[in-house]
């Protein structure tokens, strides 16, 4: 085996080193290819231009050698000028090509980032609630930001480098070998000296950058969690700010140490390479000079070889570090694919139908349900646990059957943890039942289109979430086309119009993250206003009036009474006044319907409801003042 072939082989090995999780698998490559496919034309265009520009890069040293020969041979001036002019032309063409290829690689890279970003956003949006209850927002957001960016780097940054450098390297070697294979081989003897440590350095650098990425992710998760209004409140109340700061500082300083270490590793690497190439240059001048003196090589060839050699080691440097970059880009791709591979458990059927027109019934038929286990809905890396819990969840609902006739109101009562909220969450398909069926207007919710489901249902919960946006935007979420008059009317019905009118910016007032500038009761009334605005045919209230004091509750109760009139509703309430107004009451216990009937029927039965009624219900002044 010739010397240069050995060098090539070892170089090849550097490029293909596979260690640990950085495996560049066929599938990953195929999928990356899938994302690159729409940019195929530009890619080909780009590759062709890279080849042209590599050829130009090799042409200049060869021409320089010719100038030297022309000088030495005492050729005509016009020949020297002609070659010099050609070198100038090449320089200009090279500049134009550089800009052109950069434009191509940038459009490909940025196009790729756009595709990846929108795909991941779209995918994550469709994940079931169970996914979000498990993942840490910070980890997910960093997946969307830094990993998508990292994946893009593979294209706009590295791909261009690798391709043009490989072409330059090959061409340079070919030309050098054709000028003098002996000198080329000797000059390359030093190559393994550099290639072997480069390999080790590459994996060391990759390990360091992975560690830094982990620390960074933990830090950003910390920050997103701690620096939100509820998180900060918790830290103020129970947190140990000093310990938190110490831990944060420890991670941050580790990131600093890693930064310094990788910078040094890289610099040692680059310096070593520069030295090796300088030594090789000495070899070319020495050996080349020797041959030239002997007369077996012309002086121009020595100059050309020396110039070519400098172009040989430059792409080598780039290629050696490109490997690390490509590998980390591949890791980013894999981390993005990992999220894309999570199949949403709850999906719309291809032939999904709309909820039938008119008043709708809600029906539970022998519903059994367990919250899905972690391994079905999440990723260990997003939950930030080493291993996902794969234990099957215990059944939370057992054989639950009931029916709410169109226009009727059913109240669910029971102790905390009985399964009321779980029942409520099955209607909008936040979760899917394991056995049995939930039907809306007689159609299994699994057969309904998500859009129709959203349009039909309105749900308000105890901790009604508000986005960090204006009152108007928060309301319009329910109905983007609503006019201001409609907004005010909904606010009026939720008894919130006076408050909003008194705010300096009115409807444009920003309600803080999770609506923190509003009190619990005000926030709840705003979510009720949002619900009213949507005019849903089926209303689900999960302790939606829990935060209200009796004055505002009675006001909201009135509004709800109007809003609920003629609508099918499932109401979970802690207040007797709400429960008593229901057409039917279901008593839920340990995930089962244990009693059902009207208030009076159930009281007369003297069972569980009667007991709850005595011990649990907060029979406020309003209830006492009402006749039973």
Ligand X SMILES: Nc1ncnc2c1ncn2[C@@H]1O[C@H](COP(=O)(O)OP(=O)(O)O)[C@@H](O)[C@H]1O
The β-bridge relationship of strands 538-542 and 568-572 is: parallel
8 A C-beta contact, residue 361 and residue 122 = no
CA distance 264 to 267: 5
Kindly state the DSSP code that residue 154 receives in the 8-state scheme. I
Query: Which of 551, 606, 534, 546 lies closest to 575, judged by CA?
Result: 546
The H or E element that residue 534 is part of is: helix 520-534
CB of 418 to ligand X, least distance (A): 4
Helix 241-294, helix 181-188: angle, nearest 10: 150
8 A C-beta contact, residue 46 and residue 160 = yes
Q: Any bridge partners for residue 459, and if so which?
A: 540
Q: Which CB atom, from 421 or from 545, has the smaller least distance to Mg ion?
A: 421
Query: Which of 472, 475, 450, 439 lies closest to 460, judged by CA?
Result: 475
Interface with Mg ion, residue 421, by CB under 5 A: yes
Give the three-class secondary structure for 50. Answer: helix
422 binds, among Mg ion, ligand X, none (CB under 5 to 8 A by kind): ligand X
Residue nearest to ligand X (CB): 421
C-alpha triplet 74, 77, 82: angle, nearest 5°: 120
Q: Which CB atom, from 372 or from 441, has the smaller least distance to ligand X?
A: 372
Q: Which CB atom, from 445 or from 586, has the smaller least distance to ligand X?
A: 586
Q: Which CB atom, from 396 or from 494, has the smaller least distance to ligand X?
A: 396
8 A C-beta contact, residue 500 and residue 509 = yes
Interface with Mg ion, residue 569, by CB under 5 A: no
Kindly state the DSSP code that residue 572 receives in the 8-state scheme. E
Q: Which CB atom, from 169 or from 412, has the smaller least distance to Mg ion?
A: 412
| Residue 265 dihedral angles phi and psi, to the nearest 5° | -55, -45
CB of 396 to ligand X, least distance (A): 4
CB of 461 to Mg ion, least distance (A): 8
418 binds, among ligand X, Mg ion, none (CB under 5 to 8 A by kind): ligand X
456 binds, among ligand X, Mg ion, none (CB under 5 to 8 A by kind): none
Chain residues binding ligand X by CB under 6 A are: 133, 371, 396, 414, 416-422
Give the three-class secondary structure for 589. Answer: strand
Q: Which CB atom, from 269 or from 371, has the smaller least distance to ligand X?
A: 371
150 binds, among Mg ion, ligand X, none (CB under 5 to 8 A by kind): none
Q: Which CB atom, from 262 or from 422, has the smaller least distance to ligand X?
A: 422
CB of 489 to ligand X, least distance (A): 31
371 binds, among ligand X, Mg ion, none (CB under 5 to 8 A by kind): ligand X
CB of 555 to ligand X, least distance (A): 25
396 binds, among Mg ion, ligand X, none (CB under 5 to 8 A by kind): ligand X
8 A C-beta contact, residue 533 and residue 492 = no
Q: Which CB atom, from 298 or from 543, has the smaller least distance to Mg ion?
A: 543
Q: Count CB-CB contacts under 10 A for residue 587.
A: 24
Interface with Mg ion, residue 425, by CB under 5 A: no
Q: Which CB atom, from 289 or from 417, has the smaller least distance to ligand X?
A: 417
CB of 524 to ligand X, least distance (A): 16
Tell me the C-alpha to C-alpha distance, in Å, between residue 324 and each of 14, 31, 108, 162, 384.
Answer: 10, 20, 21, 12, 25
CB of 590 to ligand X, least distance (A): 9
Query: Which of 472, 103, 72, 490 lies closest to 295, judged by CA?
Result: 72
419 binds, among ligand X, Mg ion, none (CB under 5 to 8 A by kind): ligand X
Residue nearest to Mg ion (CB): 421
State the residue for tokens 């800009």: 99
8 A C-beta contact, residue 551 and residue 471 = no
| Stretch in the footprint of Mg ion (CB under 5 A) among 246-254, 300-308, 419-427, 578-586 | 419-427
| Stretch in the footprint of Mg ion (CB under 5 A) among 117-125, 302-310, 335-343, 413-421 | 413-421
The β-bridge relationship of strands 457-461 and 538-542 is: parallel
CB of 525 to ligand X, least distance (A): 21
CB of 392 to ligand X, least distance (A): 12
Interface with Mg ion, residue 180, by CB under 5 A: no
Binding site for Mg ion (CB under 5 A): 421
């Amino acid at each position: 085996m010739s010397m240069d072939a050995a060098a090539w082989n070892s170089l090849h090995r550097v490029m293909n080193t596979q260690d640990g999780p950085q495996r560049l698998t066929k599938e990953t490559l195929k999928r990356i290819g899938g994302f690159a496919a729409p940019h195929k034309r530009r890619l080909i265009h780009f590759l062709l231009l890279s080849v042209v520009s590599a050829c130009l890069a090799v042409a200049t040293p060869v021409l320089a050698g010719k100038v030297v020969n022309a000088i030495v041979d005492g050729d005509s001036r016009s020949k020297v000028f002609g070659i010099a002019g050609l070198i100038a032309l090449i320089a200009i063409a090279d500049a134009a090509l550089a800009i052109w290829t950069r434009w191509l690689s940038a459009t490909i890279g940025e196009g790729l980032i756009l595709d990846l970003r929108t795909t991941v956003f779209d995918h994550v949006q469709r994940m079931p609630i169970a996914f979000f209850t498990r993942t840490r927002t910070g980890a997910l957001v960093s997946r969307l930001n830094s990993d998508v960016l990292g994946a893009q780097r593979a294209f706009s940054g590295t791909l261009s480098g690798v391709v043009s450098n490989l072409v330059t390297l090959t061409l340079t070697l070919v030309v050098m070998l054709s000028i003098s294979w002996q000198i080329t081989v000797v000059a390359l003897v030093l190559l393994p000296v550099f290639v072997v440590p480069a390999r080790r350095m590459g994996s060391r650098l990759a390990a360091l950058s992975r560690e830094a990425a982990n620390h960074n992710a933990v830090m950003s998760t910390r920050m997103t969690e701690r620096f939100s209004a509820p998180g900060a409140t918790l830290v103020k109340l129970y947190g140990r700010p000093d310990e938190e700061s110490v831990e944060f500082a420890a991670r941050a300083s580790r990131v600093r140490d890693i930064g310094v270490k990788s910078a040094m590793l890289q610099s040692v690497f680059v310096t070593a390479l520069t030295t090796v190439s300088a030594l090789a240059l000495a070899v070319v001048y020495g050996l080349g000079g020797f041959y030239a003196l002997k007369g077996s090589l012309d002086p121009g060839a020595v100059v050309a070889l020396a110039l070519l050699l400098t172009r040989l080691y430059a792409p080598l440097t780039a290629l050696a570090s490109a490997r690390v970059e490509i590998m980390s880009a591949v890791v980013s791709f894999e981390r993005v694919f990992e999220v894309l591979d999570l199949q949403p458990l709850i999906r719309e059927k291809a032939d999904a139908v709309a909820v039938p027109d008119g008043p709708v019934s809600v029906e539970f038929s022998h519903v059994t349900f367990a919250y899905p286990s972690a391994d079905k809905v999440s990723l260990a890396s997003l939950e930030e646990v080493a291993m996902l819990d794969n234990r099957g969840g215990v059944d939370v609902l057992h054989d639950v059957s009931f029916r709410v006739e169109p226009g009727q109101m059913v109240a669910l009562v029971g102790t905390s943890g009985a399964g009321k909220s779980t029942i409520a969450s099955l209607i909008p398909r936040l979760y899917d039942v394991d056995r049995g069926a939930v039907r809306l207007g007689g159609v299994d919710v699994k057969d309904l289109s998500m859009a129709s489901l959203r349009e039909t249902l309105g749900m308000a919960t105890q901790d009604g979430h508000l986005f960090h946006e204006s009152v108007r935007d928060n309301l319009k979420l329910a109905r983007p086309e609503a006019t201001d008059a409609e907004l005010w009317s909904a606010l009026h019905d939720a008894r919130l119009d006076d408050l909003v009118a008194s705010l300096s910016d009115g409807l444009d007032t920003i309600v803080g993250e999770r609506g923190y500038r509003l009190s619990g009761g005000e926030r709840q009334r705003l979510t009720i206003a949002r619900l009213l605005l949507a005019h849903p045919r089926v209303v689900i209230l999960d302790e939606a009036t829990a935060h209200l004091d009796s004055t505002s509750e009675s006001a909201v109760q009135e509004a709800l009474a109007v809003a609920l009139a003629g609508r099918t509703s499932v109401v979970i309430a802690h207040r007797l006044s709400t429960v008593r107004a229901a057409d039917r009451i279901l008593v839920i216990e340990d995930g089962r319907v244990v009693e059902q009937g009207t208030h009076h029927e159930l009281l007369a039965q003297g069972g569980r409801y009667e007991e709850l009624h005595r011990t649990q219900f907060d029979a406020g002044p309003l209830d006492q003042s009402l006749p039973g």
